[in-house]
Amino acid sequence: MGYKIAVVGATGNVGREMLDILAERAFPADEVVALASRRSQGQEVSYGDKTLKVKTLDTYDFSDTDICLMSAGGETSKEWSPRIGQQGCVVIDNSSAFRYDADVPLIVPEVNADAIVGFTKRNIIANPNCSTAQLVVALKPLHEAATIKRVVVSTYQSVSGAGKEAMDELFNQTRAVFTAGEIKQGGKFTKRIAFNVIPHIDVFMEDGYTKEEWKMVAETKKMLDPKIKLTATAVRVPVFIGHAESVNIEFERPLSAEKASEILRAAPGVLVIDKRENGGYITPHEAAGEDATYISRIREDATVENGLNFWCVSDNLRKGAALNTVQIAEVLVNRKLLNRSKRAA
């Protein structure tokens, strides 16, 4: 018997990507249900070669559903995820609502799949922030090899991380530049995004860091190792899809660039594209639509003992959100962790 899957937020960027990836990866689903708010009821979304009519979340009964992929924002998740979990359906939540809850595992399958067993406390599993997901996929094998002491990361994050309205804002502002039209500001971004970069993602905190930067610290510690010291600067760039990161690492033990490259080439979910020549590296443009976390520009940092730099790029809608969520669902299925007694009855 296949599984019954619900996708909440099915009309959004990430929700649509989830449906695509479920179909692409031939997830063993007998039935997939697209859910959203009342205003989206009756809209149509694609699932492989099928078209699904969107149903409303408010009136949906989850008691015979195995897994709910939740991508409707933090407030919706806070309200609905516990309720859905209590009906016996496992929620994999893409928002920040439960990431820091001690009773909710925060999972990147290539990094800490074994921690998934903790989901039974609340029937909720959290998906990390998009910028953290790709980072820890690269850090994990290096940490195992030489033990990471400290990480300094600067992000170059695409506008799709802020949703469809943000993508529209970049498009409209860029068009206005070329047509000498009015460049409208004050939408999703605090400053003009077209032909500009903005060192501000999420809200500011008391210490001067933004919430996005704090998330990277807290999530890396929870998933990888609480001893790792990490500092981040998160920057929005005028790219539609694909987050890039400049990563500097200090290790406990020596690790050459050659050895690091060898380790990363063998790591799950990672592709190394690193030729020291023109174009011998990856950019967000090439990573868009791909599943891998790409690593380039691997080199030693001579300014610290046991230092290393690299460039990390991934499609934030996929590995940073939808793909990781589906991979978590695959872990539940492959490890036979779902209690299906109610459905069998």
Tokens standing for residue 38 = 């009342």
Kindly tell me the burial class for residue 222, based on how many C-beta atoms sit within 10 Å of its own C-beta (0-12, 13-18, 19 or more): buried
Alpha-carbon distance 229 to 252, whole Å? 12
Would you list which residues are annotated within the binding site for substrate?
157, 236
Would you list which residues are annotated within the binding site?
11-14, 39-40, 99, 157, 160-161, 236, 316
Catalytic residue among 68, 89, 143, 243: 243
- Chain centroid to CA 188: how far? 20
143 included as an active-site residue = no
243 included as an active-site residue = yes
Pick from 290, 130, 162, 134: nearest CA to 238: 162
Would you list which residues are annotated within the binding site for NADP(+)?
11-14, 39-40, 160-161, 316
344 has which bridge partners?
Answer: none
Is residue 181 helix, strand or coil?
Answer: coil
Would you list which residues are annotated within the binding site for phosphate?
99
Is the CB of residue 326 less than 8 Å from the CB of residue 26?
Answer: no
Angle, vertex CA 108, rays to CA 113 and CA 34, nearest 5: 105
Q: What is the DSSP string of 76-139?
A: HHHHHHHHHHHTTPEEEE-SSTTTT-TTS-B--HHHHGGGGGGGGGTTEEEPPPHHHHHHHHHH
- Chain centroid to CA 273: how far? 21
Alpha-carbon distance 130 to 322, whole Å? 10
Q: Which residues contact 259 (CB under 8 A, 6 or more apart)?
A: 145
Catalytic residue among 89, 130, 143, 312: 130
Catalytically annotated residues: 130, 243
